[in-house]
Amino acid sequence: MKKTMIGAVCAATLTAVAATSALAAADGLSNGSVKIGVLSDMSGVYKAIEGPGAVIAAQMAIDDFGGQVLGEDIELVSADHQLKADVASSIARRWIDRDHVDMLVGMDNSAVGLAVQGLASAKKTIAINTGAGTVELTESQCSSYGIHYVYDTYALPVGTATAMVQNGGKKWFFITADYAFGHSLQDNTARVVKELGGEVVGSVNAPLSTNDFSSYLLQASSSGADVIGLANAGGDTVNSIKQANEFGIVARGQKMAGMLVFLTDVKALGLDTAKGLQFTTAFYWDRNDESREWSQRFFDKHGAMPTMVQAGVYSATMHYLEAIKAAGTDDADAVRAELGQMELNDFFVKNGKIEANGLMSHDMYLAKVKTPDQSKSDWDLLDIVSTIPAEKAYIPVAESSCSLVKQ
């Protein structure tokens, strides 16, 4: 009883404080402009996935919005966090404290993502993560200023596993990157596989920065599994698919399923090697007219088609600006509240919703890599096989362990 009383008092105080601060800033923009900071990996493994392309995407969003919001200019800053959480953290601090940046977007790499989100929420600044996969951003380390926009390690395996099991791939063998990310991917995939009546016949944990996967592939091949699930990312995924092809594993009837594959990975592998590979993605440029139109404009500036992350940066920036316009202020609490009420719709997302824990839940797509014969152009790489509805793709907000979700 006493506890609830204290809780109620606290809640009331907090609401009052929030309300007054919102009121104080409600008339327009703090320090005369809106500043957006793209914090990304410009030199490491995420460079092609997010990197300079993300800066271009954010700039496109600002230009398309008209360059101004509430009568003031929108500014863009960008920096390379060099995959170092401390560098990311000190840049973010400087941006927020000294340069008055209002919103941070990007933050690929989960250590960077968690560090920046933690910092941004302590400083009441909105941080929209488009690059990292960890569900911790919206689970145990969720924040009322953090938004996870494009994908997470829960959403990725769902569509892939469902489709493969339904097409007869009942027995699974996992090659898993031996750290938290890989295990989380494997657990989530295995859960779906088992729910649908499939079984996991084995798994092997491959250490980080393995470059020869042949030994693990051999184990997978002799396990009698129908599907070899790759619970890894980036160079690891590329190398395992390449070597599976080399050892003729796919040719002898086993199927490969990638849990986290970006468009650039398919490009890196080449269609001849990657053909038939299935994976889940949040975006593919050639999905419909809307996505084609935007992607072509992006291509003209960047020289490559957008990844789901780069498209997500545009979409996130655009919606953020719209929320400022609707709220009539750039105050973080007010904008966040506005974003929570919006229904997100554009070329990237349909019927998207930002939940209380910061998760942007939206439809995902199951993609299949084309064969070289099917491909008509350089970037004609994927077929979208099916749509995975948002409620199936993401952790239902009611089950979230985030403290911001009212149980």
Partner 1 sequence: MNIDAILAQTMLGLSQGVFYAMLSLGLAIIFGLLNVINFAHGALYMLGAFVALIGYSYIGPWLGYPDFQMGFWWALIVAPLVVACFGMLMERFMLRRLYQFDHIYGLLLTFGVALVLQGVLSNYFNISGTAYPATPESLRGIVNLGFMYFPKYRLFAIVLSVIVCFATWYMIERTSLGAVLRAGQENPKLVEAFGINVPRMITLTFGFGVALAALAGVLAAPIYSVSPLMGADLIITVFAVVVIGGMGSILGAIVTGLTLGLVQGLTQALYPPAANTVIFFIMVVVLLIRPAGLFGKAEG
Partner 2 sequence: MNKVFWVLLIVLGLAAPWLTYPVFAMKLLCFALFACAFNLLLGYVGLLSFGHAAFFGGAAYITGHVITAWGFGPLPGILTGTLFAMMLGAIFGALAIRRQGIYFAMITLALAQIIFFLALKLPFTGGENGLQGIPRGTLLGVFDLNEPITMYYFVFAVFMVGFLIIYRTIHSPFGQILTAIRENEPRARSLGYNVERFKLIAFTLSATLAGTAGATKAVIFQFASLTDVHWQMSGEVVLMTLLGGMGTLFGPIAGAAAVITLQDELASFGSWVQVAIGGIFVVCVLLFRRGFVGELARLVKAKSS
Q: Which residue has the tokens 């404009």?
A: 297
Instruction: Please name the residue ranges forming H helices in 34-146.
Output: 51-65, 85-97, 110-122
Which stretches does DSSP call E strand in 184-300? Answer: 199-206, 227-231, 255-258, 278-281
Q: Residue 86 Cβ, how far from partner 2 at the closest point, in Å?
A: 5
The reply to whether 288 sits near partner 1 by the rule CB under 8 A is: no
Decide: 243 and 249 in contact? Cβ < 8 Å. no
Q: Residue 192 Cβ, how far from partner 1 at the closest point, in Å?
A: 24
Q: Which residue has the tokens 């997100």?
A: 344
Q: Residue 258 Cβ, how far from partner 1 at the closest point, in Å?
A: 12
Interacting partner of 305 out of partner 1, partner 2, none (Cβ under 5 to 8 A depending on kind): none
Q: Give the residue, chosen from 34, 96, 192, 206, that forms a contact with partner 1 under the rule CB under 8 A.
A: 206
Instruction: Show contacts with partner 1 in window 28-57 (CB under 8 A).
Output: 43-45, 47-48
Instruction: Phi first, then psi: give them for residue 104, nearest 5 degrees.
Output: -110, 135
Give the β-pairing of 364-369 and 278-281. antiparallel
**How far is 142 from 137, CA to CA, in rounded Å?**
5
Chain centroid, CA 390 distance in Å: 14
> Positive or negative CA dihedral for 258, 192, 134, 215?
negative
Q: Residue 42 Cβ, how far from partner 2 at the closest point, in Å?
A: 4
The end-to-end CA distance of the chain, in Å, is 18
Residue closer to partner 2 (CB basis): 110 or 221: 110
Instruction: Show contacts with partner 1 in window 133-152 (CB under 8 A).
Output: none
Residue closer to partner 2 (CB basis): 74 or 91: 91
The site string for partner 1 over 261-280 (x = CB under 8 A, - otherwise) reads -x-xx-xxxx-xx-------
The reply to whether 239 sits near partner 1 by the rule CB under 8 A is: yes
The residues of the shown chain that bind partner 2, judged by CB under 8 A, are 42-43, 47, 51-52, 77-87, 89-91, 93-94, 97-98, 109-111, 114-115, 118, 134, 136, 141, 178-181, 207-208
**How far is 39 from 56, CA to CA, in rounded Å?**
13
Q: What is the DSSP secondary structure assignment for residue 352, as one 8-state letter? A: B
Q: Residue 109 Cβ, how far from partner 2 at the closest point, in Å?
A: 8
Binding site residues, partner 1, CB under 8 A: 43-45, 47-48, 178, 204-212, 214-216, 218-219, 222, 234-235, 238-239, 242-243, 246-248, 252, 262, 264-265, 267-270, 272-273
